[in-house]
Amino acid sequence: MPAKIFYTLIGGFAGGVFVSSLLPATFFTGFFLLFLGAILFLWFQFNRPDFKSLLLLPLVMAAFGAGIFRYELSRNSGLEPVLQEKISETVTVKGVVIGEPDRREGSTRLKVRVENLLADRNEFLINTGVLVIAERYSDFEYGDKIEVVGRITKPENFEGDNGRVFNYPAYLAKDGIYYEFYKPAIEVLEKDAGNPIKAALLDFKNSFVENMEAVIPKPEVSLLGGILLGAKRSLGDKLLDDFRLVGVIHIVVLSGYNITIVAEAVRRFFGFLPRRAGLLFAGISIILFTIMTGASAATIRAAIMAVLVVVARYLSRTYGITRALALAGFVMVAINPQVLVFDPSFQLSFLATIGLIYVSPVVSKFLVPSGFYRPLKEAAIATMSTQIFVLPFLVYQIGEVSLVSLPANLLILATIPMTMLFGFLTGLAGFVWNFLALPFGFISFALLYYELAVVNLFSKIPFASVSAPALPFGAIVAWYLLYFFLLKKFYQSSFAGLSAPRGRS
């Protein structure tokens, strides 16, 4: 597909979803624009206009209408009238735990797909998602069918420490969650009621984490679980705050950077197989790993781009990283349109990747000395590029900017690949014998201890982060338009005649 048409369709679709997310719209509006755009496109095909660029106009209109239509299909799809009448009342529901329990310092959070409501001596069949906030040491697992008795509420917006109001209902709705229970009575009715493949993957993950915990103490092993597997083992509020303060919170959870490392390792591991068989197994492994680690927005984005690398190699096609990023975004928004506006991790992941692709040449040319030590130079370019491009988003969304993020990331990111390697060997050897895992565990512990020490050191620096003034959305748009203008000038002057950046995810 020609690049202009490809980006026009994806941009139009994203625009429709964006507008529908913020403004009232209807199915009819979306269908009308889609139909009108299709008719105009056919008319232009038979009556060629003098300006060929006009051919893109009906495509934008049709894609924009499709975006509105898709978002409207997802809007409030889990609201149940019979539950709406019971808000703030004590009710009894039955459902299945559909996600890995999120164990935090003071509670365990369960995402539950509710199937039955018992009320007024009747049983109603329903289909919605609820967030159950249970006691910290509750022993629940993915796939448990449970009965919940408690006061049902609807999520509400809240104001963060920075004074900004967070749209919590929309944030939960993107995951199909529309109601909450706070520490209700819970009874397990049945085990293993979930997807057997996902259950097996999570069982393997939990056993792997237990192997690491057998030879590595806390909090180091908690950090390793986050880096390697996205395991939600609590690091404690104080330590998490330090990671945010220093600007390295992205290493606590499995990020796109970590997934990229895993994807490359998987592709190399299957290198001994015949080419196409190796690529096929690599693609399947990346998908299964993404499911096992919780499938966050950042990991899905990186996984899609990694799979596209595999597909490109399988078909012997050129891999364009910009087109791959756009396609990954389109797939994610088409499946769940609410992530575009209401999932900060989705937005942050894409902005960071755009910065890595397009800002890194600028940073490499003007901000990083040519004689810089190569491993540190690569880390410096990656860190500065992403930090520069996500800065407007962080100012608007979080309102806090770390002043020590660059040196902290430089000191930590270089050790992450080795930490992941020896952490993986620790967990793998644990399946054979814990004593065999000790040498790998010792090296992992040393690396993790160093990483935590860096965070602890920088978090104690006065003014490690500063609060940014609240800026209107229009100011952030203007900020990114300025970035676009400067980048366009840079590429026109420095890379005239070159194609769009290509490379790996």
* Confidence at residue 500, expressed as pLDDT on a 0 to 100 scale: 47
The string of pLDDT tens digits covering residues 224-263 is: 988 888 765 567 778 888 888 888 887 776 666 677 777 7
* Confidence at residue 498, expressed as pLDDT on a 0 to 100 scale: 46
What Rg value do the Cα atoms of the chain yield, rounded? 24
- In the chain, what are the domain boundaries? 3-74, 81-194, 203-494
* Confidence at residue 505, expressed as pLDDT on a 0 to 100 scale: 40
What contacts 432, CB < 8 A, 6 or more positions away? none
169: closest CA among 185, 153, 182? 153
Buried b (16+ CB within 10 A) or exposed e, 22-58: eeebeeebbeebbeebbebbeebeeeeeeeeeebbbb
- In angstroms, what CA-CA distances link 505 with 147, 269, 308? 43, 18, 9
Residue 163: is its pLDDT beyond 90?
Answer: no
Residue 220: is its pLDDT beyond 90?
Answer: yes
| Mean pLDDT over the full length of the chain | 86
* Confidence at residue 71, expressed as pLDDT on a 0 to 100 scale: 93
Longest dimension (CA), the chain: 77
Helix (H, G, I), strand (E, B) or coil at 464: coil
If residue 179 lies in a helix (H) or strand (E), which one and from where to where? strand 179-182
The string of pLDDT tens digits covering residues 93-117 is: 999 999 999 888 788 999 999 999 9
Helix (H, G, I), strand (E, B) or coil at 236: coil
Instruction: Read off the amino acid at residue 389.
Output: F
The string of pLDDT tens digits covering residues 397-432 is: 887 888 898 889 888 988 888 999 899 999 999 999
Residue range 263-281: mean pLDDT, rounded? 81
The string of pLDDT tens digits covering residues 170-180 is: 899 988 899 99
- Ramachandran area for residue 149 (φ above 0: left; ψ -120 to 50: alpha; else beta): beta
CATH topology of domain 81-194: OB fold (Dihydrolipoamide Acetyltransferase, E2P) (2.40.50)
* Confidence at residue 111, expressed as pLDDT on a 0 to 100 scale: 96
* Confidence at residue 305, expressed as pLDDT on a 0 to 100 scale: 85
The string of pLDDT tens digits covering residues 328-381 is: 999 999 999 999 999 988 998 899 889 988 998 888 888 766 666 666 777 788
The string of pLDDT tens digits covering residues 274-325 is: 888 888 888 888 888 888 888 888 788 888 888 888 788 777 777 788 898 9
Tokens encoding 317: 């096609």
Residue range 463-472: mean pLDDT, rounded? 81
Residue 483: is its pLDDT beyond 90?
Answer: yes
Cα–Cα distance for residue pair 490/392, rounded to 1 Å: 20
Helix (H, G, I), strand (E, B) or coil at 136: coil
> In terms of pLDDT, which residue wins out, 447 or 302?
447
* Confidence at residue 186, expressed as pLDDT on a 0 to 100 scale: 95
Tell me the percentage of the chain whose pLDDT exceeds 90.
41
* Confidence at residue 162, expressed as pLDDT on a 0 to 100 scale: 61
Q: Residue 134 has what DSSP assignment? A: E
Residue 22: is its pLDDT beyond 50?
Answer: yes
pTM of the complete model: 0.85
Tokens encoding 457: 């050191």
Judged by average pLDDT, the poorest of 12-16, 120-124, 235-239, 337-341 is 235-239
What contacts 287, CB < 8 A, 6 or more positions away? 303, 307
| pLDDT confidence bin for 502, thresholds 50/70/90 | very low
* Confidence at residue 134, expressed as pLDDT on a 0 to 100 scale: 93
* Confidence at residue 98, expressed as pLDDT on a 0 to 100 scale: 94
Query: Which residues partner with 103 through β-bridges?
Result: 108
* Confidence at residue 322, expressed as pLDDT on a 0 to 100 scale: 87
